[in-house]
Amino acid sequence: MAAIMLPNMPANTTVHLDIDAVPARQHTWRGVIIKSLAALLLVGCLFLLFHFVLEPYMLELEAFMRRLGPWGPILFILIFLIGTSLFVPESILAISAGAIFGLWMGLVWVVVAGTLTAVVIFVLGRHFLQQPIERLLEGHPKIKAVDAAASSAGFKLIFLLRLSPLNYSLLCWLLAVSKARFRSYLLACLGMFPGNFSTVYVGFAAKHAADLAKRVKDNDGHLPAGDSMVHEVTLFLGLAAAILASVVVARIAMKAIKRAAEDSQKHSEVHS
């Protein structure tokens, strides 16, 4: 448990943020191997999620979206808004967007949907549901600590929280009932981009792999004309790089939060 001194607060006032669970950096090969295997396991689970949950309905979904035309992305945004507001994992919807809309347009619609959802949750939490949510937080002191830290924090801390692996929906609701300014809250949505990109890429790559397997089967076990092994390797190396980048960014964010907390605690001890 570390303490953070926030701007515009008295010098002897601190807010405790429970981030001691952030693991110390491991320099051993064992730690590197374990983390690499964990990342591979995560990617494998995401691919299995696509294969068993989404792929059986993908042809129907794509046909349905094509029939909707420009209303397709609007429907996705509404589903994203309702689903994530009720704590449906954002990653499932982002994977679906990558599979349905492709990498770049899928990323566009996930970013738009995530930002609009964050705004809606902010309005609901700040003006209509603040007291019920605060009562719920009373029974969860660790979550309450994050809420307290965000209450008087500016853009930097909220942006770092967005980069961290904290649950998207939970963080939106926490920030909504805090005293965080709307401008900082909105600008900090930029921190969702690395995670969005990697999960959309997973959906895009999984859909591509499924389509490729079918085309290879129809082509007597050979890559279809116009495709190449270099293209396929590059695509999946890009997926690995995107996931690695999002993990690295999340770790850097958590370390930055911890460092800020430790510096603030030392500063408070000096002035106490």
Task: Inform me whether the pLDDT recorded for 265 exceeds 70.
Answer: no
Q: Closest Cα to residue 193, out of 233, 229, 152, 163?
A: 163
Using an 8 Å Cβ cutoff, are 207 and 99 in contact?
A: yes
Strands (E), the chain: 2-4, 15-17
Would you state the structure tokens that stand for residue 9, as one six-digit string?
């607060």
Per-residue pLDDT tens digits for 209-254: 877 777 777 676 667 666 677 777 788 788 777 877 777 787 787 7
- Confidence (pLDDT) at 111: 95
Confidence of residue 103 (pLDDT cuts 50, 70, 90): very high
Instruction: Look up the pTM and report it.
Output: 0.73
pLDDT over threshold 80, residue 98:
yes
Q: Where are the domains of the chain?
A: 2-270
Can you say how many angstroms the Cα of residue 17 is from the centroid of all Cα atoms in its chain? 20
**Closest CA relative to residue 185, chosen from 252, 131, 118, 129:** 118
